[in-house]
Homo-oligomer: A and B are copies of this chain.
Amino acid sequence: MTEHTVSAFDTELSSLRSTVVEMGGFAEKMVEDATRALVRRDPDLAQTIIAADIRLDNLQREVEERAILTIARRQPMAVDLREIVSAIRVAGDIERIGDLAKNIAKRTVAIGNQFQPPKIVVGVQHMSDLVQEQLKDVLDGYTQHDADVALAVWNRDGDIDALYTSLFRELLTYMMEDPRNIGFCTHLLFSAKNIERIGDHTTNIAETINYLVTGETLGPERPKADKSSFTTVDIAKS
């Protein structure tokens, strides 16, 4: 390989990485805005999020195409190959985070001006704050190739899952108390689930960073504290 080739290759790699970082920043903003729109019942803000998501879809396709072409053209060594594969994976997770934020925005439009119990709103906000912090940390970890930061994010995901499970229970209780709550509580339920899934994708990114830095796969299973799929509600209580 000539100096010139090495340098062109490095440029391709770093440009790939910076597109992924750009996507990450965009997704962070979408999650923040989607939560704000939901909590403040702001359908106009929600509409802008719905419209913005296409940008992440396009960037993800672009990353994938450029990455594959780079692999095909350069035949990179193991460590560079990991860098490229990681860019594909992280871009994929970020794109899905954007989809989930968009879905929260759609539900915000549906909920409109219906009353939301303050305790639930606080719970959703708190859960989203945690997820946003995780997302920020994991994107820093990606930029800095820092496996320790990634591992910390990975280990903290259980907190979000636990929060989701308790919010899930609370929402069911509201639904049982008054059938008029069922419509918007269902949208809040799916919104909370979306936030929890954003947390899962953040954890995926943490796993990818670990693979990028160490070449090894985390596993077999991260600590999983979302028990809501297994939750049964004591129907006698209602």
Chain A contact residues, CB within 8 Å of chain B = 54, 61, 64, 68, 71-73, 75-76, 81, 85, 92, 103, 106-107, 109-112, 114, 172, 175-177, 179-180, 182-183, 186-187, 189-190, 193, 217, 220, 229-233, 235, 238
Question: A107–B233 Cα gap in the complex (Å)?
Answer: 12
Cβ contact within 8 Å between B179 and A112 = no
**How long is the Cα–Cα vector from A175 to B73 in the complex, in angstroms?**
57
Q: Chain B contacts of A61 at CB under 8 A?
A: 217
- Nearest neighbor of A99 in chain B, beta-carbon distance: B200
Q: How far is the CB of A94 from chain B (nearest CB, A)?
A: 15
The residue from B71, B109, B179 contacting A179, defined by CB atoms under 8 A apart: B179
**How often does this chain occur in the complex, in copies?**
2
* Chain B contacts for A54, CB-based, 8 A: 220
Residue picked from A73, A182, A183, most chain B C-beta under 10 Å: A182
A sample of 13 inter-chain contacts (CB < 8 A) reads A68-B71, A71-B71, A71-B72, A72-B76, A72-B81, A103-B229, A110-B231, A182-B182, A182-B233, A183-B233, A186-B186, A186-B233, A189-B189
Interface of A (DSSP majority class):
helix
Contact of A193 among B111, B114, B190 (CB under 8 A): B190
Q: Which residues of B contact A238 (CB under 8 A)?
A: 179-180, 182
Q: Are B110 and A230 in contact (CB under 8 A)?
A: yes
A180 neighbours in B (Cβ, 8 Å): 235, 238
Contacts of A172 in B (CB 8 A): 182-183, 186
